[in-house]
Amino acid sequence: MPSEITSLCERNPSLEAQQIVAGLVPPPQFAEATFASYIPDPDFDSQAIARDRLIEFAASGGTIKTGLFAKPKKDDASRPGVYLDGGFGVGKTHLLAAAWHASPGRKKFFGTFLQYTSLVGALGFAQAVDALRGASLICIDEFELDDPGDTMMMTRMLGELVSGGTRIAATSNTPPHALGEGRFAAADFLREIHALAANFDTLRIDGTDFRKRTTDGEALTLSESQLETMVSTFRGRGETATLDGFDALLVHLATVHPSVYP
C-alpha cells in the first residue's frame, strides 16, 4: 500500500543499529556485480591480475584467526586484508562488490568510507563496533586519507574487527595528477593505517577511465506544471510520489543523520 507522505520533508526516520547496518550492501548498480561480468582491459594486465587475486581472496572465505599485530603469512592470499589502488573508472568498485557477493558468510558488509564514519557518528564508536563485530568480510569503498581524525578512528575500528577474524577489502582513488607522476595512494594508505598495514595485500590497478567515452544524449526538463501533473499521475495510480522544493529539502536533510536515510 502506498505511503500517504507527499513530501520528503515530512519524514523524520529513526533506525536501530541493526537496521542501519542492514543497509550496508552494494549499491543498486552493483547489486549483481560478479567477477565474470568484470571485463579487464587487455591493454592493462593489472586489471586481470587484480580480478584473479580478488577471486582467490573471496574464495578463501571464512574468518581468519589473527590478531591486529599478527605477523603476515608469506602467502598474500592468507592476509586478512586486500587494498585496491588505482585511478578513476578502472573497475575497483565493481571488483569490490563482486568480492562481497562471492564471499561466503551470512554477516558481511559493504559501504563507503563515509557510510562507516557516519555509522560511528550515529551510534557511537562502541556500538558501531558491536554492530559490525563477527562479520566475515567488510568492504570499504573510497577509503579517504585526507582527514586524520576519521582515518585514525577507522584504523582503530578495523583493528578491533580484524583481531576478531574479520577480513577487510578496501579501495581508494589515486588523484589523476598523482597518476601522471607515477604516484599511487597505496603508500599513503599503508602509512596511515599503521599497525594494520602488515595485514594488507595491496593491488595496483592501471587503466583509463571507462566513462571517458563518446556519448550522445540530452537532459529531460519539466516545467513546474508538468512536474505537478506527473506527480498527480503517479498518485492516481496508487503509487507514492513526493514533491519538495530543493531549498526546503536541503534544510530538512541537514537535520537527519546520513546513517538513517531510508
Spatial contact of 129 and 161, defined as CB atoms under 8 Å apart? yes
Mean pLDDT across the chain:
81
What is the Cα–Cα distance from 96 to 85, expressed in whole angstroms? 12
For the four alpha carbons of 192, 140, 171 and 197, in that order, the dihedral sign comes to positive
Instruction: Give the three-class secondary structure for 49.
Output: helix
Q: Which residue reads 520528503 in cell numbers? A: 8
pLDDT digits (tens, 9 = 90+) for 93-142: 999 999 999 999 889 999 999 899 989 988 899 999 999 999 999 999 98
DSSP string, 184-229: -THHHHHHHTGGGGGGEEEEEE----TT-S----------HHHHHH
Query: Is it true that domain 17-205 has CATH number 3.40.50.300?
Result: yes
Q: How confident is the model at residue 147 (pLDDT cuts 50, 70, 90)?
A: confident
What is the Cα–Cα distance from 55 to 59, expressed in whole angstroms? 6
What is the Cα–Cα distance from 133 to 113, expressed in whole angstroms? 17
Question: In angstroms, how far apart are the furthest CA atoms of the chain?
Answer: 66
What is the Cα–Cα distance from 142 to 169, expressed in whole angstroms? 11
70-74, 204-208, 212-216, 222-226: range with lowest mean pLDDT: 70-74
Closest CA to 161 of 108, 214, 209: 108
> Mean pLDDT, to the nearest integer, of 202-210?
84
Closest CA to 142 of 58, 86, 81, 68: 86
Strand order in the sheet with 81-86: 108-112, 137-141, 167-173, 81-86, 200-205
Question: In the chain, where are the structural domains located?
Answer: 8-12+220-260, 17-205
Query: pTM of the full predicted structure?
Result: 0.74
What is the Cα–Cα distance from 194 to 254, expressed in whole angstroms? 34
- How many other C-beta atoms can be found within 10 angstroms of the C-beta atom of residue 16? 11
